[in-house]
Chain A
C-alpha cells in the first residue's frame, strides 16, 4: 500500500501486521504508540512511592495493583509498537531511559504528598480515558485491541483516584486545604494535557487521515472539561480563576491560551524541565542497575542456552 491507499482504506482496526504498510504510516504509528507506552511507564514511576506511603493496607494493595497494571499496559503497547517493524522494545526503553523518549506532560512533575495522588489518579487518568476511548477505533488493529483491555483497567483506576479524592475532601479541614492547594498547582498542567488549544500540532492532519487519530485535541479537552469541572466542584474543589475558562454558551469551553505557561510546556516536552530530569534520571538509574540481568538473558539467548523465555517471568 502507498500513503494514498492507506488514506482511502483507513478505518477502525483496518490495518494489521500482515499488511504491507508504507514507512510514513509505520513511523507515525510507532511514534504515537511509543509515546503512549512511555507514558504508562513514567506514570507508574511517578506513583510508585505511594505504594509505600499509602495510609492503609488496602490502599497500599490498590496502589501496587495500579502500578502493576500500568506496567502491563506499557508491555502491551510496546508490543503493538514493535509489530510495526520500526523499533524494538529495548530500543524504546533505552531511549526512554536516556531522555530521548517522549511522554505525557503531567508525568514530568514529581509528587511529594499523598494529597497529590488523585491529581494523577483521578484528573489525569480521567483525561487520558477520554483520549484512550477514541483509540479503540485506531486504524492500527494491535493498538485498538490493546485499548480494549487498557480502557477497562483505566476505568478502575479512575474509580480508585475518585475514591481517594472523595475521602480526602470528606476528611479534616486540613486535608481539604491540602487538596485544594495541590489542585491549584496541578490544574494548569492538567489543562495542558491536551496540548495547545488551537490544535495546530504538526502531525495531526496526517494522523487523522490515516486513522491513527479519531478525535481532535479540542474535542477531547471539551469532553474532559464538561465532565470534570463539575466533578471537581461536587467534591468541594474550587476551580482557580486563572487560567480562565470560558463557556461559550453551547457546552463548548475555551481555555485562555495566554493564561497557561507554554514555555514550561515546551521545556517539559523536550525532557528538560527539572522534574523531567529527576523522573527520567531516577528511572534510568534503576534500569542501568539491573542491566546485568538483561545482558545475561541476551548472552543465554545468543548461546541458545536460555530456558524457555516465559519460565522465569
Chain B
C-alpha cells in the first residue's frame, strides 16, 4: 500500500486517540469542517452532488501535472463537512491506482464505521465510493 496513505491514516488515528468520548470527537470533526474551505457557489452544482439522505455533499476531482488526483469537496452540514475534510485529507494528491485500491482502515480504528454504513443519513458512504470511482476512472485515462 502507498506509504503516504499509511502514514496519513496513522496520523489521524493518533489525533483521535486523545479524545475520550464522542462529543469530543464531534467537536474535532466540527473544527475540521469549519477549517475546510467552502466551495465557490459555481462548483456547488447538482452534477457534483452526492445524494445523502439529509445533508448534501459536493465532490469535485481533477488530475494534476504529476498525474495525482486532487479532490475538492463541501457539505451543507458541518459534521458531514468534517467527515468530508477527513476523507480529502487522506486521499487528496495520491495516484489514481492507490485511491482505487485504498484500504481505509482508519475509519474503523477511530470508530467512524457506524457513520459510514449506507443507512446513515450523511451520505459519507456514497462519498467514499465516489472517490474510489474517480481513482478508477483516472487510472483508465
Verify that A and B bind, or say they do not.
Answer: no
